[in-house]
Amino acid sequence: MQILIDADGCPVVELAAELARQHHIPCVILCDTAHRIEKPGAETVILSQGADSVDFALVNRVRKGDIVVTQDYGLAAMCLAKGGIPISQNGQEYTADNIDGLLYARHAAKKIRSAGGRLKGPAKRVKAQDEAFQNKLRTLVEKTLSS
């Protein structure tokens, strides 16, 4: 098992890397040249800027049982197909039961924006979101290590 982080725009890189260090789990941070995120004990893979370069590199690395931190529903779906365990920065685990609805909502939002509509952006991040992420990631790590 390893933790793979889609780090571009991810506010929980430090939290995920720290938990990986605590459990002696390999951690790989994938980011593009605009972000260059490095954390102690984690491997950083820097990719060229470009549409989905980080996503494709990550999905090519994921193996069954790997935990993937991402906000990208499409990437989460690809990781699920490969046996990965994707989780959002807010602690939501992406599963076969919820991914189709999330992908549909993303598609519907894109159609609204393409038609000139506006959607409300995300609210300011709060500490409770970090705590929910930490709790869910810890649960997933412990569950995966014990199986």
Determine the pLDDT at residue 7.
92
Residue that wins the pLDDT comparison between 32 and 62:
62
Please state, in angstroms and as integers, the Cα–Cα distance from residue 67 to each residue in 63, 82, 104, 110, 111, following that order: 9, 11, 23, 27, 31
> Whole-angstrom Cα distance, residue 71 to residue 62?
16
Determine the pLDDT at residue 106.
67
> Whole-angstrom Cα distance, residue 100 to residue 106?
10
Q: pLDDT for 86-126, tens place per residue? A: 999 999 999 999 887 777 776 777 777 888 888 777 788 99
Domain membership of residue 44 as a residue range: 3-146
Please state the rounded mean pLDDT for residues 66-74. 94
pLDDT at 142 over 90: yes
Domain total for the chain?
1
Residue 69: closest CA among 40, 37, 97, 101: 37
Residue 104 belongs to domain with CATH number: 3.40.50
